[in-house]
Amino acid sequence: MRFVDEFRDADKARALAAAIASLCEPGRHYKFMEVCGGHTHTIYKHGIDDYLPENVSLVHGPGCPVCVIPMGRVDDAIAIATQPDVIMTTFGDMMRVPGGQGSFFDAKAAGADIRMVYSPLDSLKIARQHPDKRVVFMAIGFETTAPSTAMTVLRAAAEGIENFSIFCNHVTIIPAIKAILDSPDLRLDGFIGPGHVSTVIGCRPYDFIARQHDKPLVCAGFEPLDILQSVHMILCQLAEGRAEVENQYSRVVPWDGNAKALQVIAEVMELRPYFEWRGLGFISQSALKVRDAYAPFDAERIFELPGVRVADPKACQCGEVLKGVIKPWECKVFGTACTPETPIGTCMVSSEGACAAYYNFGRFTRERVRTATRQ
């Protein structure tokens, strides 16, 4: 298929793999973090590890929108969904995220009207079709999805749709990366930068990573060749003693970002003083809320929320997984008590979650596979 096959060409992958291997210093171990859950998904789905030398390892980062939602916020959302005459809408990934009192799926089975949508505009459509209901969109995601949520609020305001609101859980990527860099447990050699977030915020916000932390960052696309090329670009920087922000995904990411999208976010939303991230705790200025001017569209002001902070289950090590401190399989409950069917932690829920990606795609040993394919 055009525009897909070009980026999955096995011959080009072999050539890149050879170039990558030739750049690696013998005896040195390289650890690169892919910040974005979309990259984690691509890496496992296409088996990119097969192309990397043994001394290059990819560490999964915090950029999975569903994974960072704390349990208390899920409970708040369910509290809204179970109010009379409410239709809660959300992306499919949210449905199985466990809160303290169960997930959206459980709430739906118990009678709440919770619907999956592909876009916030679909929620607005539902609001138009059901003027007698209060339609709430559970808004999640980084700067990637915030503009479409903001646009939807602007549209609702322009059309005077009064039965629509958003439960805003949008977060911002830079504070999360800062939290990773400040974490003492982790030594990284470079970053595969989040491609989709960068289409909105551009590449400049990452400058501090190169300047203050002396680490290379390459904004990467989501096809398997994009990832391999980005690894190659990071290794080139290291080999040449550079630490810079580079843009591998220039076909989509403008260096300065998308001014219009940023402006739409700024029009509708502002930074919260602090927000709780699952596993990472409270991070200041790391999330967005609806501005006063759009208060009628803010579910947090329309509905009374329990707002109770729910501690993560003791056994759950999502925080360490999100920070890249441990690999998914190193978590005590991985794959036994915590599975995609009955997730304890959020990382096991979303297809972008590191644990789900490893469980669904990577749960085998390469040695045994090599034996199997030789048989």
Helix (H, G, I), strand (E, B) or coil at 338: strand
Q: Does 132 bind other proteins (CB under 8 A)?
A: no
Distance of CA 294 to the CA centre of its chain: 26
Residue with tokens 């509290």: 79
Q: Which is nearer to other proteins, 51 or 294 (CB)?
A: 51
Among 31, 82, 122, 130, the residue binding other proteins under the rule CB under 8 A is 122
Binding positions for other proteins, 329-348, rule CB under 8 A:
329-330, 334-336, 339-342
Considering only 22, 25, 29, 110, the residue that binds other proteins (CB under 8 A) is 110
Q: Which helix (H) or strand (E) holds 9?
A: none
**Run of H or E residues at 80:** helix 71-81
Residues 67-96 that bind other proteins (CB under 8 A): 92, 95-96
* Residue from 18, 47, 211, 256 in contact with other proteins (CB under 8 A): 47
How far apart are alpha carbons 65 and 188 in whole angstroms?
22
Say if residues 356 and 349 touch (Cβ distance below 8 Å).
yes
341 three-state secondary structure: coil
Residue placing its CB nearer to other proteins in the complex, 111 or 184: 111
Any contact of residue 137 with other proteins (CB under 8 A)?
no
Contacts of 83 (CB under 8 A, 6+ apart): 134, 303
DSSP three-state, residue 364: coil
- Residue 276 is encoded by which pair of tokens? 């709780």
Buried b (16+ CB within 10 A) or exposed e, 309-329: ebebbeebbbbbbbbbbbbbe
- According to the binding rule CB under 8 A, does residue 49 interact with other proteins? yes
Q: Between 39 and 289, whose beta carbon lies closer to other proteins? A: 39
Should residue 48 be labelled a site residue for other proteins when binding is judged by CB under 8 A? yes
Using CB under 8 A, which residues numbered 248 to 287 contact other proteins?
A: none
Pick the closer one to other proteins by CB: 255 or 329. Answer: 329
What is the total count of residues that contact other proteins (CB under 8 A)?
51
Q: Is 53 one of the binding residues for other proteins (CB under 8 A)? A: no
One-letter amino acid for residue 369 of the chain: V
Interacting residues toward other proteins by CB under 8 A? 1, 4, 8, 10, 13-14, 44-51, 92, 95-96, 105-106, 108-110, 118, 122, 224, 327, 329-330, 334-336, 339-342, 351, 359-369, 371-373, 375
